[in-house]
Structures are given as structure tokens and as C-alpha cells.
Amino acid sequence: MQTDSVSSDASRAQAMRAVSGAFSKLDPREQAKNPVMLMVYISAILTTGLFFLSLAGVSDSRPGYICAIAATLWLTVLFANFAESLAEGRGKAQADSLRAAKKDVVAKKLNDCLAARGTHEADPSAFYERECTKVSSSELGREDVVFVRAGDQIPADGEVIVGAASVDESAITGESAPVIRESGGDRSSVTGGTTLLSDWLVLRVTQERGKSFLDQMISMVEAASRKRTPNEIALQILLVALTIVFLLVTLALFTFSDFGATLAGRANPTTITNLVALFVCLAPTTIGALLSAIGIAGMSRLNRANVLAMSGRAVEAAGDVDILMLDKTGTITLGNRQACAFVPVDGASEEELADAAQLASLTDETPEGRSIVVLAKERFGIRGRDLQGSNMTSIPFTAQTRMSGVDFDGHEIRKGAADAVCAYVESYGGVYGDACRRAVEEISRAGGTPLLVARDHTILGVVYLKDIVKQGIKENFASLRKMGIKTIMITGDNPTTAAAIAAEAGVDDFLAEATPESKLDAIRRYQAEGHMVAMTGDGTNDAPALAQADVAVAMNSGTQAAKEAGNMVDLDSNPTKLIDVVRIGKQMLMTRGSLTTFSIANDLAKYFAIIPALFVGLYPQLDALNVMRLASPESAILSAIIYNALIIVVLIPLALKGVRYREVSSAQLLKHNLLVYGLGGVALPFVAIKAIDMILVACGLA
């Protein structure tokens, strides 16, 4: 209950800030950024001037009617400003929490030669602590070297050049579990504002002052650096063109009514106030008011997923992606091979094999080794031995032997790669039999890893290690396939193993024995065929492919080269986030398309609802088209313009939340949009305008 209360208070505070922002955006410089709403703004000023003229006796309509039109037009502008301010407000709330994590701290600055010298000291941390110069973190620039020890806040984005330590990144990612960061490899990157939990690190700063990931994310979520995307600009041009067309239509209708009034020998009943109101009703004000909010809300949803987009273009491109390239390890599979079967050969029993495999794995702390111990216990109740005081000698794994094992009670037990164990056995006169060879081949064809176990230079059998496919990943790929997205697994495995895992995971294709060059060539080939390609990566060897991809999500924990090559950075460093990024991009495009369809359909409906009532005085025959039987021309115009303002408010939640995500093909999506937002957009104005007209009549306002 307390959490709900806090959430309610936060929402109320955001709403109040949005109301204040709606009025501050009445600045003409702000209104000029949205050409459609600028026309409504000018119309509101014009009708306000007409109202004051009517009070002075210079009037083309009743003062009360002009006042109602002017007030409604001002509300239309304010509602549009409110929608944009509310979208920005959500980002500002997130920016406040990020800004709290970003604060100036004391940084312990070193120079390069001291950093290198410290590695030769008996106690490097004491040396670095003694030799550092303390400065403010705001003074650090790119290539500066700093020392951080347990309990210190990391002062700037950087790359670990010396040391390994546990880092708390919860202030940035929201994930409470600490992560390991170390020099070398693909887990060397750290983010300013995070906290060192253990040991010490020497870092090289990788960002200029004021351009850290936190700075960029704060700027993005506040919409301060958000630029309109190409599609958004194209839609804005279309809306401006439609506005100009409807302006010409309105002027033509005035000329037409003036000509009709002259023929009938009477004064023209179509006033300037009516013309202004008619123009606002016909212009695409609904989507014009919500367009910016839709874009900002889309970026905000991405930021809430802890993904930093370097540009709005990347988010939009995510919505158009039709090729998804994903690493196998850690994305499609768990990344840790697990023992799933014991396959005995040459007369050995399965229990005998399991016992020997477990003995060889008792001191093996790898996930594979632990899984062998667990499987032997589950299958045969074999429990780990008490090694205290035993005559067991552990044989560690080495890159040269590619085997490990134990010497136990006079027996030599070894496990390892098939060719390594085969060579070991044959060197002592043992035999690598046909049954063992067939078992190895069958496991390899099935996508597994065969691990041979030998005792006293005799092969007992094979342990089947399986790369476990993540739960639910197959359903994810099936959903993407419905949307017309082709999934491609990237792996360093051989083609046989890759094919087996691809079939189990449900991907559409795979790239086996992948190299940086083959990844880059594959992306270029798909792009040359007209596809939009997305991929994820974290290593320096991924940088060329990330730079080439249309949507490139780099892991925050990865190398600086990968982050600079990508156009998005996942602060959680979760490779499966790429799927969510594509969905968020598609949802933003779906929302924009749905509301554009609804807005244009609304304009058509309002046109047919208003015109008959407006001109029935000149042409009585038009009364047959007044199907809603609106009370008068004035009530028709006023009802339509009130509806035009209120529909913006009604659609604000949809613009901010996005339309419901539907994993269907483009053709099905188009059909659904035309049915719901097209026909709905035509029908709703007839019902709503009639209801408002009845209320105005009942209240004596029409």
C-alpha cells in the first residue's frame, strides 16, 4: 500500500509539472516547432482578437459564441502541450534518479608510467594509493588514469587496465547482483557512478568531460538532445501538406458560400469565426498534437529498459528490422554446457562410467565439471568422496593436454576432448574402438560436446555435454517469425553442432564458425538485398559488424571499441535485450501509424458532419445530409471543435503507453489498423459530436 501511495504521489507530481509545462510551451518559439499546432495557436489568437472586437461592437458573430470558440482553441493548444510535457516529465523523473547517481567525487589520478610500475610492486594497491593525486571527478578527461579501491565510487566511464574487482552497478542498471570487471577480455568496461565492492582497479577514462553514459542518458530521457527521425520528419511534412490543403479547402468554401449568398441576395452567413473553427476541425490536429509525445514516449520506454540509444534514428530503425543476428552463447543458450547422459562403451556399465567421471570432476570447479558430479548423484546416488586425508592426486586441465582427472587408489582416471583422450590411451597401448567413435559422432551431430572418460588407459565411455537452450527462446523466435523477422544464430561451433542447436532453438538460419570477417560479410549481403539488420556484441572483434548493422546494441560491460561502434548501449549487458529493442521500435511505429490513421479518419468524419449543418441555410437541399440533426450551424461548429480538443486528452494515455503490441505480419497489422482506427475514427466523431450538441442544447448554450 505504501508503494502504491508513493507511485500515486509521483504520478501526481508529474501531472502537475506537465500542467506547468503546458503553459510555458505557449511561447511562440516553442509553438513554431510544430507547424500544425502553430496554425491552431494562430487561430486561437485570431478568435481571441475577434472576441474583443465583438465586445467593442465590431462583430461577425455573438460574443458568447466567439468566446467559446476561442477558449476551446486555447484548450486544444494546451492539451497538445500537456501531452508533450507529460511525455517529457516521465523522462525527467528518470533523469532525476540518474542525476542522483552522478555526483562529483574525489578521484585518485595517476599517470601511465606509475600505472605500469605499480604492477611490479609487492603491494600494488598501497603503491597506487601513495602515488596518486587527488582531484575532482569533474576535472577528469579522456585518457586520464585513475585508481579506485573497495568502497570508492568509480569517478568516470573507463576501461580497466590493471586489476580485477567486484562492482555494484545497481545505481545504473537496477540489478542488485554485483558483477566482475577485469583488465583484458570483453568485461573490462566500467561506468561512472557505480561503486567498487572489493579489491582495486586502475582505470583509463574513455569519455570526454560531460559526455559520459550518464550524461548522455540524462540528456536523452529529458528529450534535450532528441532529434526528429527521418520517418517523423516525413510524417510532419505530410501533416503540413494536409494542413495547407485544408486551409485552401476552407477558403474555397468561404468563396463558394459568398457566391451562393450573392445569388440569393442575402448576407453571407459563413463568418470568419466559423471559418477558423472549421479549418481547425479539418486540419490533422489530433496526430499533430500527439506526434512529438509518441516519439518521446518511445525513447522513454527504451530508456526504462536500460538501453541508451545514441539517436532516435536507431529506435526507428529497430521498428523496421527484418533480420536479427544473435550470438549463440549467453543469448540463445545459457552458455554453460551441462552433462545430460553417460554413454558407456566396450563392455563398461553406465554406473561404472558415472563413478569414474564423478571422481575426475570432484576438483573441477567449472560448470561442466559440477554438472557431471550432480548427474552421477541423481542417476545412481553416487555421492562425492571426502577428500580429506585421501590418497587422491588432482590432475588439472591444461591447454597442452586438454585433459584433467585424478590419480585415486592406484587408478589413473582422465577425462577430456575425444582426440586428446584417444591419443593418451593409444600412447599406453589402449584402443579407441568403433563403438566409442560412433558415440562421439552421434553426440556431435546432435549438437552436443563429447567428453571421453578413461580409467587405467581404457576408455569407459562418453559424457554427453549439452549446450542448454534458454527456456522460452523458441517461443520468442516463433513470435518474431510471425512479424516477418528472420532470426540468425551466430556461433563459433562447427556446422554440424550449429545446425543441431539451431533446430532445437527454432532459429531460421545460422552462421557457423563465425569470424569478424564472416559476420561483416553476412550483414553487408543482407543489406544489399534490402534488409534492415540488427545485431548485438560486446567484444572488439564485434566492432566491425556492429558499425555496419542498422541497429547495433553493444553491451555496457564490453569493450570501448564495441560501444563506440554500436548505436545503442545496453546498460544491463543482457544479449537477449535485442529482442526487446526490436519490439519497442515496432511498437513506436505501430502507435504512430495507428493514431495517424485515426486522425485522418476523424478529419473525414468531421467534414461530413459539419458541412451540411453549416450550409443548410444557403442550400436547404443539404438538410438531407444532416444525418445527426445538429441543432444549428453554431452548435455544429462548437460541438466539433470541442470534440477536436477532447479527443487529444482521451488519446494521451495511448500515445504514452503505445498501442498493444501484436506479433503479426504487416498485412494483418494494416488490416487491424484500418478496421479499428480507420472505421473507429470515422464512426466516433458522429457519435461524440451529436452527444456534445445535445449537451449544449440542454444547457442552453446553443
Give me the domain span that covers residue 503.
307-332+470-571
Question: Would the annotation count 596 as a binding residue?
Answer: no
Please tell me whether residues 606 and 674 are part of one structural domain. yes
Say if 672 falls within a structural domain.
Answer: yes
Q: What is the pLDDT of residue 452?
A: 93
Question: Would the annotation count 402 as a binding residue?
Answer: yes
Which strands sit side by side in the sheet containing 393-395, from one edge to the other? 333-344, 458-469, 449-455, 411-416, 403-408, 393-395
Question: Would the annotation count 223 as a binding residue?
Answer: no
Question: Residue 148 to residues 59, 108, 161, 198, 212: CA-CA distances in angstroms?
Answer: 75, 7, 12, 10, 18
The cell for 267 is: 448576407
Say if 216 falls within a structural domain.
Answer: no
Say if 359 falls within a structural domain.
Answer: yes
3-state secondary structure of 454: strand
Neighbours of 655 (CB within 10 A): 29
Q: Which residues contact 481 (CB under 8 A, 6 or more apart)?
A: 487, 508
Say if 76 falls within a structural domain.
Answer: yes
Please tell me whether residues 11 and 134 are part of one structural domain. no
3-state secondary structure of 180: strand
Q: Is-above-0.85 flag for pTM? A: no
3-state secondary structure of 699: coil
571, 602, 631 — which closes off a domain? 571
Tens of pLDDT, residue by residue over 392-427, are: 788 888 767 788 899 888 889 999 888 889 999 998
Say if 99 falls within a structural domain.
Answer: no
Of 144, 157, 215, 327, catalytic = 327
Cα–Cα dist 140/137, whole Å = 5
User: Are 565 and 637 in contact, with CB atoms under 8 Å apart?
Assistant: no
Tens of pLDDT, residue by residue over 26-53, are: 999 888 888 889 999 999 999 999 998 8
Question: Would the annotation count 199 as a binding residue?
Answer: no
Please tell me whether residues 607 and 643 are part of one structural domain. yes
CATH number of the domain at 378, please: 3.40.1110.10
Would residue 327 show up in a list of annotated catalytic residues for this protein?
A: yes
Question: Would the annotation count 542 as a binding residue?
Answer: yes
Please tell me whether residues 79 and 111 are part of one structural domain. no
Q: Count of domains in the chain?
A: 4
Give, for 393, the enclosing helix (H) or strand (E).
Answer: strand 393-395
Mind giving me the DSSP string for 322-368?
-EEEEETBTTTEEEEEEEEEEEE-TT--HHHHHHHHHHHHTT--SHH
Tens of pLDDT, residue by residue over 569-605, are: 887 777 778 788 888 888 888 888 889 899 888 888 8
Q: What is the pLDDT of residue 386?
A: 58
Q: What is the pLDDT of residue 95?
A: 60
Say if 126 falls within a structural domain.
Answer: yes
468, 495, 528 — which closes off a domain? 468
Q: What is the pLDDT of residue 272?
A: 84
Helix axes 666-673, 577-615, angle to 10 degrees: 30
Say if 190 falls within a structural domain.
Answer: yes
Please tell me whether residues 610 and 692 are part of one structural domain. yes
571, 597, 630 — which closes off a domain? 571
CATH number of the domain at 190, please: 2.70.150.10
Please tell me whether residues 458 and 375 are part of one structural domain. yes
Please tell me whether residues 343 and 443 are part of one structural domain. yes
Cα–Cα dist 50/194, whole Å = 59
Please tell me whether residues 138 and 262 are part of one structural domain. no
Whose cell is 570432476? That residue is 361
Question: Would the annotation count 538 as a binding residue?
Answer: yes
Say if 673 falls within a structural domain.
Answer: yes
Q: What is the pLDDT of residue 342?
A: 93
Please tell me whether residues 515 and 608 are part of one structural domain. no
Please tell me whether residues 396 and 481 are part of one structural domain. no
| Low-confidence spans in the chain with pLDDT less than 70 | 1-11, 60, 90-103, 171-177, 185-186, 210-229, 260-261, 264-269, 311-312, 330, 335, 384-390, 399, 557, 613, 616-618, 621-627, 701-702
From the list 283, 288, 292, the residue with the least C-alpha distance to 43 is 283
Query: For 206, what's the count of Cα atoms within 13 Å in the CB-facing half-sphere?
Result: 22
Q: What is the pLDDT of residue 224?
A: 43
Please tell me whether residues 363 and 452 are part of one structural domain. yes
CATH number of the domain at 533, please: 3.40.50.1000
Please tell me whether residues 563 and 598 are part of one structural domain. no
